[in-house]
Chain A
C-alpha cells in the first residue's frame, strides 16, 4: 500500500489521506461515559463489586442498605473517571493549541495563513526560523544556497544537537517564485513510526521535469515537532499529517507493568475470594438447614411453608453479600494513592537531583515503586551509564609510534607536537582523517568562537583533538570542507558519505582534494571492522597490539585508515551507490553491501584511543548494591577488553586472585558449546567456594548460545552473579533481560542511549539516565535519573520504603476487612444463621471509607530504619527481595490476627452487653467501636516512626470516629439516634473498650516483644542499634574498622547462593532460588584457573 502524494494539488488528495488535525484524545464528550465505564469494568475487581452492588438492590437478600456498596463503588469510579477526564481534557487543550497554530501554506498558488489542522497531504508548507514543524514534510526549498537546513529534534528523540537536513536533489536550484507552482508526485511508504527511515521517491511534473526519479531519505524530511534553527525559511511538502505522522504513529500506550507485589496481592485476593466462597457455602447450607429445623417452629418469624423456586439460594446469597466486605473495596484506591505519592517522593528527592545540570529524578511510571525494592538483577549499559560519556582523546598510535604513553595525554606529548610541526606525512594524514571523516558541523558564532555540533561524542572528541593539534576543521559548506592547518587553508570536496551503522561499525567519506584533484577514501571505525580491510602487505601487528594495549587501559579505540581512489573506480562505484541509495526495499542492506565494495585495501594510518571517564560514585554504588545482594550484568556494545577493564575499575568483578573471569567465546557452534559447558562446570564447582566468578561473553557467542544452547545458558545465568556481555546489539540486550525474567527474577535495566531502549522497555523496571546521548532512554524508562550513583538511593531508600509501606498497607487493608467480616459471621451464629447484619449501613460504609483508610494512608511516611542505616547495611534489602514482608505466611499472620481480634471483640461485646443491655443498635456500636480502637492500636504498633502526621491521623481518626457518630446520633431520622450519646455516658462502655484493647493488643505486643528480643530479624537488630543510641556509634566505627575486612567478606559471601528460607515463602518453592540450591557441586575437573588472560 504505497502512498502517492501529489504535490500542491488542490482537489485530488483531499479525501485520500487525513488532514493535519491532531487528536490524542481517548474520549469524546459523547462516548466518555460508556467507554470509560467499559474500561473500568474490564477489571475483575470492579466486576465483582458491581455484581455485589447489583445483588444488593434485591431487598429480599440485602443485609444492609445498597448504599453501603454503591457509595464507595461510585466514589471509586468517580475518582478514576475524573482522573481520566482531566487527563483527556488536558490532551484536548494541547491538541487544540497545536491544531490552531497558524502556518503559511500555499493554496491555489497563493501563500495563505491557515490553521495547522487544515493542512492537507500534498500542501506546500512554509516555515520560518524557530517555527515548530506542524507535520512531516519533504524539503523542497530552503533559504540557504546549498539547500541545507538545521533542525532540532529534541522533542522527537531527545537529542539536543542540531541536525542537518537537505532538500530533495531534484528541487535543487529551483527559483523561489517557482516553488509556489511546483507540481509532482511523491511515492512513499504507508505511515510508520520509524523516525530514522524514510525510503521514498519523488518525480516532478513539467516544467520541472528532471527526467529522473529522485530518491528521498530521512535526510530530506523534517518531521513533526522538530524546530527549525539557524535557517531563515524552508519550504516542504506535507507527506504525513495529523495522527499519521512519524511522531503520531510512535505514540502508543505502553503495556502496563505489574509489580511482583501487585501479583502477590492479586493472588492473596484470589485466596480470600476462595475462602469467602467456602464461608458462603458453609453458612448458606447451615442457614438453610437451620431454617428448616428451627426457624419454621419460630412462629414469630412466619416462614411461609411454600417458598419461591429460588428459596434455597436466598440465604447463601445473603451471606455472599455479608461477606463481600472481606475483599476491601478501598484497596485499589488506597494503593493507587500511596503509589503516586511514592513516585512524587522520588520526583521531589533533592538528594537525587543532579545539581550540575539541574535534572531531578523522575518517576514516569507511578505504579512500580515496590519493584525497586525487589530488584535481583541489574543490567547496565556501560557507555554513558557507568561512564560519563565525555570523550577525551588521550592516546594514539600512528604508523607504529605510540604517542601519549609517557604523559598520559597525547595532546601534551612533545613527540607528537614535533611530528605535527615537522610535517610528518603520516601524522598529517592521520589528523586529516580525524578532522573531516565525520558528520560534525562546525558552527562559527558571531564573536568568532568555533564550536562543533556532533551526533557522536567520539567524533567530537577527535575533531577537537585535531584542532588542538593545529588541524582545525573550520567550515562545512555543502560539499566543501575547509581545514585550517598551520595557517594554510586546505579544501576538500565531499563526494559521498558512507554512513555509520551499528552493523558496519565504521564510516567513510569520499573526498576530492581541491588542490591536487585526487580522490581519497577516508575511513574510521572499530578495529575489527577496519583491520580486516587493510591492504595486503601492510603489517597490522603494531596496530592490533596498540588496540589491545589501549583496551586494557579501558580506552575506546578507533582505527583510522585511508586509500586513494582511481577516478574511474570511483565513478563506477558512485553509480551503484546512487542506485542502492534509491532502492525502496532493503535499502540499508544494499547500501552497506555497496559500501563494503569500496572499503577494501585500506592503508591503516593509526589507532586513536579515547577515554571515557567513570562517573562519580560508580564503584561505591556497585559495591553497595552488590552487598545488597543484587547481581550485576554489564551489557555493552564495546570491546571485550575495554569492558573488562571498566568492570574491574568499578568493582564489578574483583581483581585476581579472588575474582575470576570465565570466558565464553568461539566462532562456531561447537566451540561456543564447548566453552559454555566448560564455564558451566567451573561455575558449579566454584559456586560453593568463596570466589567471585563472572562470565564474559561476546555478541557472536551469545547469538549462538541463545540460539542453540538456551537451556545451558539459562542455567549459567542463574548460577552467575556477574556477567559481562560485550559487543551485544540492542535486541540481544533485550533478549538477555527476557532470559532473566523467564527465570522469575526481578530485573532492572539501566541505560542512557537509544540502543538501550529495548532493554529498558523489556525489563521489569527500566531506568534511564538523562545523559549526553539524549533523552531517548530516559523517555522510554519508568524512572529517569541524572547520574548512575542515584540508583543506590532509588533502590535502597525509595524502593525499600515503598515495598515495606505497601506490604503493610495491603495486608492491613485485608486485616480490617476481615475483622469486621468475621464479626458479622460470628453474629450470624447467634442470629439463627439468617444473614442479618450486626452493623448498620452507615457504619459499614464509613468503616471502609473513613475510619480505617485514613490512618493507614499515613504509613507512607513510615520508616523502619533511617536512610543512613540502610546505606550502611545494604544487606537488609534481602528482606524485600525475598518478599519477606508480604507473602502467604505473613498474610496468614494478619489473617490470624483478624480472626483473633474478631473473637475478642465479639466475645467481650456479647458478654458485657448481655441481658438487659442487648439492644441491637447499642451492641453494634460497641462492637464497631471495639474494631476502631483495635485498628488504631494495630496501626500504631506496626508504625516504626511516628511523625506528627501519623499521630494526627491515628488518634485524630479515633476522635473523628466519635465526632462522626455523635453527629449521626443527633439526627432523629437516623437509625442510631441518641445511641452514641447513651453509650459514651455509660462507664461500662469505656470499661468494655479498655478491655477489648488490652485483650486484643496484649498478646500482640507480647508476641512482638518476644520476637523482637529473642527471635529478632536483622531489621530489628538494626532498629535497636539505631535507636538505643549507644551501639550505633560502635556500628559506625565497626563499619570503618572492618571496612576492608567486610569488603572481603562480602565479596566472599556473595558467591553463596541465596537460600531463601522456604518457611517464609512457601509459594516460591519452585522459584529459581530453589533451582539454584539444587545444583550440587559438579565433578571435580581442573578448569578452574582459567582467567581472561588465558585467551
Chain B
C-alpha cells in the first residue's frame, strides 16, 4: 500500500502549486519502501545493463559453445556406443502366407497356431539388466480417436465404473448398460504377442514385473479395479486380461496405455536379469498374435542394455558433435572476416547524416 501511494505521487503534483508538489514529493518518497526503485522506475531511469554484440564476445561465445558441445557430444556418443542392442523383425517371417487376405484371416482366427521361433545372435556381451522391448511401426497411438478413448476415472476406482462416455466406441457391452472395464480403444487394442527366451535350450526368465511407472501402478490404476466384460463380445481387438488380477497389477496393460507420441515406438516387455555372453544364440519363441498386417505395420523385438543418459539413442551424441563442429566453423569464419575486414564499431562516420548531406539514403 505504501509503495502504491508513492507510485502515484506525480499525479498528486497535478495540483497547480509548486509548494504542494514539492511537499508531496518529499513526504511520500520518504514513506516509500523502495523510493529509489520507484522514482527511477517511473522516470524510466533504472540502471540497465546494455550488452552489445561485439566481435570478441560473439566469437568467444561460439568457440566456447563449440568446445562444450564437442565434449558433451563425445561423452554422449561414447555412452550410446556402449549400449548393446539386438533388433529382430519378425512379423514377416512369422506368418506362413504372403497374401494379405490370408494373413488377415489367419491372424484373426484365435484357434490357429501362431507360434513362431526366431534365433538372435549376441554380438557382444550384454550385461544385465537387459531390457526387452517390442517395437511397432506405423501404429498410430497418437491418433485423435485413439488417444482420447480411455477413462482415467474408471481405471482408478470402481466408483467410476460407469464413466465410459469418453471411451466410445468401446464403452459398454452391446450398447447396454454393462460397462467394459477397462474401456476404450487403447485398452481394447492391447498388444498381445508374447516372447519366451532360451539360450542353449536353457530358459531365460523374463521378469515382467516393474515394467510400468510406479506412479501409474500406485495411483492411476486402481488396486481394486478388476477387468469386466473385457473383450467379451463384438470384435476382438488385442489381448485379453485375467479378470482376477486388479488393473494395478496388469503391468503390460499399464505400459500399453502410456500412449506413444509417434507412430514408431518401443514399449517395455520385460527385463532379463542375467548376462548374455557374446556369440551366444538366443532362441525366442514368439506368439505372433497382434494384428499389424492389416495396415502394413512392422513388429520388432528389441533387446537392449540401458544406460544412464541417452538410452539407446545415438541422436543426441551426433547432434552435439555436429552442432559443436558447426559453431567452431562459424567462430573461425567470423574471426577471419573480422581480421580481413575490420570495422570499428560505433564509428560516427558511418552515420550517413554525418557523411552525406542526405539523411535518408540507404
Q: Mark A residues whose CB is within 8 Å of B.
A: 63, 294-295, 297-304, 318, 344-345, 347-350, 353, 355, 357-360, 362, 629, 690, 801, 827, 830-832, 834-836, 838, 861, 863, 873, 875, 878, 908, 910-924, 944-950, 972, 975, 977-978, 982, 987-988, 991-992, 994-995, 998-999, 1002, 1005-1006, 1008-1009, 1012-1014, 1016, 1018, 1021-1028, 1030-1032, 1034-1035, 1038, 1042, 1046, 1049-1050, 1052-1054, 1056, 1058-1061
Q: CB distance B76 to A991 under 8 Å? A: yes
Interface centre among A318, A915, A947, A1059 (most CB of B within 10 A): A915
Choose one: A295, A914, A1053; the contact of B357 (CB below 8 Å).
Answer: A1053
Q: CB distance B219 to A977 under 8 Å? A: yes
A690 to B356, CA, bound (A): 12
A1027 neighbours in B (Cβ, 8 Å): 50, 52, 346
B313 to chain A, nearest CB (A): 6
Q: CB distance A916 to B312 under 8 Å? A: yes
A992 to B346, CA, bound (A): 38
Query: At the interface with chain A, which of B114-122, B174-182, B271-279, B316-324?
Result: B316-324
Q: CB distance A836 to B143 under 8 Å? A: yes
In the A-B complex, list the 3 residue pairs whose CB atoms are closest, starting with the nearest: A1024-B346, A1025-B346, A945-B48
Q: Assess whether B140 is interfacial by the CB under 8 Å rule.
A: yes
Given A915-B264, A1014-B343, A1018-B351, 16 further pairs, Cβ under 8 A: A298-B295, A300-B189, A301-B140, A349-B43, A359-B16, A830-B263, A832-B263, A836-B144, A836-B148, A919-B258, A995-B323, A998-B327, A1002-B65, A1009-B55, A1025-B345, A1056-B360
A-B contact pairs, 18 of them (CB 8 A): A345-B42, A832-B142, A832-B144, A861-B44, A912-B319, A916-B311, A918-B264, A982-B213, A988-B310, A994-B72, A1002-B62, A1006-B58, A1012-B52, A1012-B53, A1014-B343, A1023-B52, A1050-B359, A1053-B358
Q: Assess whether B262 is interfacial by the CB under 8 Å rule.
A: yes
A1034 to B351, CA, bound (A): 13
B213 neighbours in A (Cβ, 8 Å): 978, 982
Q: CB distance A1024 to B52 under 8 Å? A: yes
A827 to B47, CA, bound (A): 44
Q: CB distance B358 to A1056 under 8 Å? A: yes
Interface centre among B42, B268, B327, B356 (most CB of A within 10 A): B42
Q: Assess whether B266 is interfacial by the CB under 8 Å rule.
A: yes
A199 to chain B, nearest CB (A): 36
Q: CB distance A1031 to B346 under 8 Å? A: yes
Q: CB distance A916 to B133 under 8 Å? A: yes
Choose one: B50, B146, B315, B351; the contact of A945 (CB below 8 Å).
Answer: B50
Query: At the interface with chain A, which of B7-15, B195-203, B225-233?
Result: B7-15
Closest to B238 in A: A300
A295 to B145, CA, bound (A): 10
Interface centre among A294, A920, A1026 (most CB of B within 10 A): A920
A917 to B352, CA, bound (A): 57
B250 to chain A, nearest CB (A): 18
A152 to chain B, nearest CB (A): 15
Q: Assess whether B237 is interfacial by the CB under 8 Å rule.
A: yes
B337 neighbours in A (Cβ, 8 Å): 1014
Q: Assess whether B17 is interfacial by the CB under 8 Å rule.
A: yes
B13 neighbours in A (Cβ, 8 Å): 353, 358, 360
B319 neighbours in A (Cβ, 8 Å): 908, 911-912, 995, 999
Closest to B260 in A: A918
Closest to A941 in B: B53
A304 to B135, CA, bound (A): 28
Choose one: B16, B49, B215, B308; the contact of A987 (CB below 8 Å).
Answer: B308
Q: CB distance A1016 to B327 under 8 Å? A: no
**Chain A residues touching B, majority SS:** helix
Q: CB distance B295 to A358 under 8 Å? A: no
B345 neighbours in A (Cβ, 8 Å): 1013, 1024-1025, 1028
A1061 to B356, CA, bound (A): 17
B99 neighbours in A (Cβ, 8 Å): none
Q: CB distance A301 to B145 under 8 Å? A: yes
Q: CB distance A977 to B347 under 8 Å? A: no
A337 to chain B, nearest CB (A): 16
A318 neighbours in B (Cβ, 8 Å): 144
Closest to B25 in A: A350
Closest to A1023 in B: B52
Q: CB distance A300 to B10 under 8 Å? A: no
A345 neighbours in B (Cβ, 8 Å): 42, 44
A1014 neighbours in B (Cβ, 8 Å): 337, 341, 343
Closest to A298 in B: B295
Q: CB distance A302 to B169 under 8 Å? A: yes
Q: Assess whether B220 is interfacial by the CB under 8 Å rule.
A: yes
Closest to A349 in B: B43
A298-B143, A1028-B346 are known contacts. Are A1013 and B323 too (CB-CB below 8 A)? no
B120 to chain A, nearest CB (A): 18
A947 neighbours in B (Cβ, 8 Å): 46-49
A299-B295, A1061-B362 are known contacts. Are A999 and B323 too (CB-CB below 8 A)? yes
B295 neighbours in A (Cβ, 8 Å): 294, 297-299
Closest to B131 in A: A916
Q: CB distance B53 to A1008 under 8 Å? A: yes
A48 to chain B, nearest CB (A): 24
A1020 to chain B, nearest CB (A): 8
A831-B144, A1050-B353 are known contacts. Are A360 and B48 too (CB-CB below 8 A)? no
Closest to B324 in A: A998
Q: CB distance A831 to B143 under 8 Å? A: yes
Q: CB distance B146 to A946 under 8 Å? A: no
B172 to chain A, nearest CB (A): 15
B211 to chain A, nearest CB (A): 11
A473 to B294, CA, bound (A): 111
A361 to B97, CA, bound (A): 88
A1024 to B360, CA, bound (A): 20
Choose one: A353, A875, A919; the contact of B259 (CB below 8 Å).
Answer: A919
Q: CB distance B46 to A1009 under 8 Å? A: no
Q: CB distance B261 to A1005 under 8 Å? A: no
A1009-B58, A1038-B354 are known contacts. Are A916 and B144 too (CB-CB below 8 A)? no
A423 to B169, CA, bound (A): 115
Q: Assess whether B330 is interfacial by the CB under 8 Å rule.
A: yes
A998 neighbours in B (Cβ, 8 Å): 65, 69, 323, 327
Q: Assess whether B350 is interfacial by the CB under 8 Å rule.
A: yes
B28 to chain A, nearest CB (A): 13
B147 neighbours in A (Cβ, 8 Å): 831, 836, 920
Q: CB distance B316 to A992 under 8 Å? A: yes
Choose one: A304, A835, A919, A1022; the contact of B144 (CB below 8 Å).
Answer: A835
Closest to B40 in A: A947
Q: CB distance B48 to A358 under 8 Å? A: no
Q: CB distance A355 to B362 under 8 Å? A: no
A360-B14, A1026-B346, A1031-B347 are known contacts. Are A300 and B146 too (CB-CB below 8 A)? yes
Which residues of B in the span 235-253 have a Cβ within 8 Å of any Cβ on A?
Answer: 237-238
A1049 neighbours in B (Cβ, 8 Å): 353, 357
Q: Assess whether B291 is interfacial by the CB under 8 Å rule.
A: yes
Q: CB distance A1021 to B347 under 8 Å? A: yes
A921 neighbours in B (Cβ, 8 Å): 258
A301-B185, A911-B315, A918-B265 are known contacts. Are A834 and B346 too (CB-CB below 8 A)? no
Closest to B148 in A: A836
A1006 to B267, CA, bound (A): 41
Choose one: B42, B139, B315; the contact of A914 (CB below 8 Å).
Answer: B315
Q: Assess whether B5 is interfacial by the CB under 8 Å rule.
A: no
A130 to chain B, nearest CB (A): 19
A873-B351, A875-B359, A991-B72 are known contacts. Are A832 and B316 too (CB-CB below 8 A)? no
Q: CB distance B352 to A1018 under 8 Å? A: yes
A295-B143, A360-B14, A1038-B354 are known contacts. Are A912 and B48 too (CB-CB below 8 A)? no
Q: CB distance A358 to B18 under 8 Å? A: yes
Q: Assess whether B309 is interfacial by the CB under 8 Å rule.
A: yes
A465 to B147, CA, bound (A): 92
